[in-house]
């Protein structure tokens, strides 16, 4: 079982998906992305960056 299955968005508790060097929340309302630096995700609430609706949709479409 991959560790990503246990990681959650610190603000919403939503599942996260891997998108390059960041983890993106599946929550369509907040659309938060968290950086991964040196293979360590920065899952602090203040580290989340809100994606535009279009960018978030593009990331989610790649997950299917």
- The predicted model scores a pTM of 0.91
Give pLDDT, residue 1.
52
Q: Kindly report the CATH class assigned to 3-62.
A: mainly beta
On the question of pLDDT at 5 being above 90, the answer is: no
Helix (H) or strand (E) holding 54: helix 53-62
Query: What's the pLDDT band for 2 if we cut at 50, 70, 90?
Result: confident
Is 25 exposed, middle or buried, given 0-12, 13-18 or 19+ CB atoms closer than 10 A? Answer: buried
Query: What's the pLDDT band for 4 if we cut at 50, 70, 90?
Result: confident
Is 22 exposed, middle or buried, given 0-12, 13-18 or 19+ CB atoms closer than 10 A? Answer: buried
pLDDT (tens digit per residue) in 8-38: 999 999 999 999 999 999 999 999 999 999 9
Torsion of CA 47, 48, 52, 55, to 10 degrees: 100
């Amino acid at each position: 079982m991959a560790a990503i299955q246990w990681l959650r968005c610190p603000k919403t508790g939503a599942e996260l998906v891997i998108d390059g060097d960041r983890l993106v929340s599946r929550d369509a309302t907040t659309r938060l992305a968290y950086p991964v630096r040196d293979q360590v995700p920065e899952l602090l609430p203040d580290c989340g960056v809100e994606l535009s609706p279009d960018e978030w949709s593009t990331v989610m479409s790649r997950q299917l």
